[in-house]
Amino acid sequence: MSGPKPQPGIMEIALYQGGASAIPGRAEVLKLSSNENPFGPPPAAQEALSRAAATMHLYPSTDHRSLRKAIAEVHDLDPDQIICGVGSDEVLQFLCQAYAGVGDEVIHTEHGFSMYPILAHAAGAVPVKVPERDRVVDVDAILAAVTAKTKLVFLTNPGNPTGTMLPEAEVMRLADGLRDHVVLIIDGAYAEYARDYGVGYDGFARFAASRPNVVMTRTFSKLYGLGGLRVGWGYGCREIIEVLTRVRQPFNLSGPALAAAEAAVRDRAFAARCVTENARLRDWLTGELRAIGIACDTSETNFVLARFRDAEEAAGCEAALRADGILVRKVGSYGFPEGLRITVGDEPACKRVIAAVRAHMGVTA
C-alpha cells in the first residue's frame, strides 16, 4: 500500500530512551537515572511559577527578552547573543535545521549524547561517529573525520555519560583546526558542575561569542531543577543567533516557564549550595565505589559512571539496586555495556546506593 513518505533520514532514527522513573509494584522509588537535581527547583522559581499561573491565558513573550537579560546579567554576557529554547535540545535542533541537510555530515563522538544522531537524521544529514580515547573526546579523531561535507561537530563538555571533560586548550585546538564552514557546538548541559566553574570558567560562552562558527548551549534542567518546564539557551556570534531565531517558533516557551527560569538563574545562593553539595557527595560516591573495586573516572558532572568488570556484573548490580527501589541508568547504548550511570543524589540517597552495592557485591564495611 502506497502513501506519504517521510523525509530522508526520518526512518533511520532510533527512538530516544529516557531514564526509567518507575518500578512495577513499588510505590516509592529512588530515581537516580536522569541526573535531576535532588534538591529540586529553587524556592524563588516555584514562587514565580505560582504567580505566573494566573496569566496562563496570555500569550508569552516572543523575544524572551526578560530571561535573556537575566542570563546575560548573571553570566556577564550580551543578551542579543542569547537564544532560548525548549531545553537546550531545541537549540541543538535549530542548529541542525539551519546548518545541515540531505547529504551533509554531522560529527559526534562515540560516547556523546544520544540525541545528536537523532537530530542529524531529522535534518536528513548523516551522523558520523568518531572514537574517544579512554572515555575522553579525541580532538585528532574529530579533525581526521572532517570532510567537505561536514557541517556540524557536537562536543559534549563535560561528557555524558562519561563525566569527563576536554581541557580548554584542547577545545581551542579543535576550534582552530575546523574549516570555516563547520559549526562547533559545545553542549554544556553540565558546565556548572565542573570543578573549574566559577574560577574564570564560563562554559566557553565568551569563547563562542568570539568565533564565527562556535555555539555554546546550556540548560535549566540540571542545576536549576527545571527539567519539567523545558528551558535551555544558546550563546554565539550575532550572525548565528539571528539565523537560529529565524527558525525558532515565536511562542516556543510558555510564560510560566520563562518566569520560573528567570527567577532560578537569579538565585545564585541556591545554585552555589547545589554545586557545593554535589561536589562533596560526588567525590564521596566516587571514592566509595572505587573502594569496592568499581572503576570510576573523575566526574565533572552531577553523576558518576560506574564501570564493572563486564556487562553481566553491571546487569546484576542494576537488578539488585532495582530490587531495593533504586533506579540508575544502564548505558549500553552509549557504548558501555559494563557501565551504570548513577546520579549524585542527596546524602541519604548516596549512602543508600553504596549500602546496596556493597550488599550485592558481598563487601563488608
Distance CA 71, CA 217 (A): 12
Distance CA 79, CA 72 (A): 5
Write the burial class of residue 16 (CB in 10 Å: 0-12 exposed, 13-18 middle, 19+ buried): exposed
Question: Cell for 196?
Answer: 573549574
Question: Cell for 209?
Answer: 561569542
Length of the chain: 365
Does the reported pTM lie above 0.85? yes
Contacts made by residues 348-353, CB under 8 angstroms, sequence distance 24+: 349/30, 349/32, 349/38, 350/281, 350/284, 350/285, 352/30, 352/324, 352/326, 353/32, 353/285, 353/321, 353/326, 353/328
Domain residue spans in the chain? Answer: 20-40+269-361, 44-266
Assign domain 44-266 one CATH number from 3.40.640.10, 3.40.50.2000, 3.30.1330.10, 3.90.100.10: 3.40.640.10
Structural contact between residues 331 and 160, judged by C-beta atoms closer than 8 angstroms: no
Amino acid making up residue 19:
G
CA angle, residues 14, 220, 217, in degrees to nearest 5: 65
pLDDT tens-digit readout, 325-354? 999 999 999 999 999 999 999 999 999 999
Choose the weakest-confidence range: 26-30, 263-267, 346-350: 26-30
Task: Report, as an integer, the average pLDDT of 128-146.
Answer: 97
pLDDT tens-digit readout, 274-311? 999 999 999 999 999 999 999 999 999 999 999 999 99
Domain pair 20-40+269-361 / 44-266, same fold: no
Task: Report, as an integer, the average pLDDT of 100-113.
Answer: 95
Distance CA 57, CA 22 (A): 33
Structural contact between residues 190 and 161, judged by C-beta atoms closer than 8 angstroms: no
Quote the distance between the C-alpha of residue 328 and its chain's center.
17
DSSP string for residues in 299-318:
PSSSEEEEE-SSHHHHHHHH
- CATH architecture group of domain 20-40+269-361: Alpha-Beta Complex (3.90)
Of 14 and 319, more confident:
319
pLDDT tens-digit readout, 180-233? 999 999 999 999 999 876 656 788 888 888 899 999 999 999 999 999 999 999
- Of 152, 95, 98, 90, the C-alpha closest to 126 is 152
